[in-house]
Amino acid sequence: MKLIVKFNLVLSAIFAVAFVLAGWFTHALLQRNAKAEIEENARIMIDGATAVRTYTSQEIKPLLQTQMTYTFMPQSVSAYSANKYFAQLHKNYPEYSYREATLNPTNPTDRATDWEADIVNDFRQNPNKKEIMAERPTPTGPVLFIAKPLAIKDAKCLDCHDTPDRAPRTVIEQYGSANGFGWKVGDIVAAQIITAPMQLPIERANSAFTAFMLSLAAVFIVLIVAINAMLFYLVIRPVNRLSSIATEVSLGNLEVPDFQASGKDEIATLAEAFGRMRKSLVEAIRMLEG
């Protein structure tokens, strides 16, 4: 097996191992960054909804308290404001969704689905738990959701949710007296749930991974070609010429031209040593012939 073949086999094995390790590390890093991006976006949105809820309860609701005695004003409800806020975001980010899933809601549209009810019950069974984050499959692909509990912390919230006879007349006229009552201070009645798509960020990560691996493969190929060219011109060709001269000398052709090597590298040193050996051999042969 020729030297250049052995060299390429070793070099290819090294590059193959490096390629696999680089691919594994890069893929893991890009996937982790994609999930971190999804999580960060979801947290920003759910924190924004929480800020709107707080602003509504502290700033808007007191201003509309008088009007509520004459007509129901949904703008005074924190959940309404948060949903309206997210509806505006949804126009630009249709893949995201926001819910205030409630076990016993005043507004039927807020009633928790099966999987949402499981989250609310989980919070109720574990009151110290502040957040649930997990992935779940959907028909359009996997999604990440972040859920936070909504508990009754202010007794003023019970004005509309204690008993039907204590609720404002306008609330009963709007939603009836069948749902949204019996709440108590400290109860976890709902959960804020933000759902973020995973498919698009992961697809972007996969595209970046493919582009990186193709670029890395191209770099490896260029390096192998360049190293082979250097090996051929700097080592293989000079050694082959030396080998040819040595063969001619061994066959008795003492007139073969010397190998001229410039520089002070190992090949030049080898050529000088071979030249001295050849001169010594020629002189020894002439002495024997004389």
Per-residue pLDDT tens digits for 210-255: 999 999 999 999 998 898 888 887 777 777 777 777 777 666 666 6
Model pLDDT, residue 76 = 81
Q: The tokens of 190 are what?
A: 């709902």
Dist. CA 124–CA 188, nearest whole Å: 6
Model pLDDT, residue 28 = 93
How many angstroms from the chain centroid is the CA of residue 143?
Answer: 14
Residue type at 206 in one-letter notation: N
Per-residue pLDDT tens digits for 81-104: 888 888 888 888 888 889 989 988
Model pLDDT, residue 270 = 74
> Nearest 5 degrees, angle CA 43-CA 131-CA 185?
115
The secondary structure of 90-132, three-state, reads HHHCCCCEEEEEECCCCCHHHECCHHHHHHHHHHHHCCCCCCE
**What 3-state DSSP class applies to 133?**
strand
Distances, alpha carbon 150 to alpha carbons 68, 77, 224, in Å: 23, 14, 61
Model pLDDT, residue 127 = 87
Dist. CA 133–CA 145, nearest whole Å: 6
Percent of the chain whose predicted confidence (pLDDT) is above 90: 20
Mean pLDDT of 272-288: 73
Per-residue pLDDT tens digits for 60-82: 888 887 777 778 788 888 888 88
Q: Is the pLDDT of residue 193 over 90?
A: yes
How many angstroms from the chain centroid is the CA of residue 181?
Answer: 44
Model pLDDT, residue 138 = 83
What number of CA atoms fall less than 13 Å from residue 184's CA on the CB side? Answer: 3
Q: What's the pTM value of the predicted model, to 2 decimals?
A: 0.70
Dist. CA 245–CA 257, nearest whole Å: 8
